[in-house]
Chain A
Amino acid sequence: MRGYSAFGLLKGGFTGHKSWPRAWRAPEPKSVYDVVIIGGGGHGLATAYYLAKAHGVRRVAVLEKSWIGGGNTGRNTTIVRSNYRLPQMQTFLELSLKLWEGLSQELNYNLMFSQRGALLLGHSDSDMTRLAELGDSLLTNGIDAKLMGREQVARLVPLLDMSPDARFPIHGGLIQPRGGTARHDAVAWGFARAADALGVDVIQNCAVTGIDIQGGKAVGVQTTKGAIGADRIAICVAGDSSTVAAMAGLRLPIESHMLQAFVSEPVKPMIDTVIMSRSIHCYISQSDKGEIVLGGDPDLYPSYSKRGIPMRIEEVAGQAIGLVPALSRLRMLRCWSGVTDMSFDGAPIIGETPVENLYLNGGWCYGGFKATPGSGFVYAHTLATGAPHPANAPFGLERFASGATIDEAASGPLPQSR
Chain B
Amino acid sequence: MIYLILSTVAFSVSSLFYKMASTRNCRPLGLNFALFASVTAILLVYILATRSPFHSAPVLIGAFGGISVLITSVYFFLAVHHGGKLSVCWTVLSLSFIIPALASILIWNEAFSVKRGIGLFLIALSLLLLGGETE
Query: Real complex partners, A and B?
Result: no
- Which residues of chain B have a CB within 8 Å of any CB of chain A? none
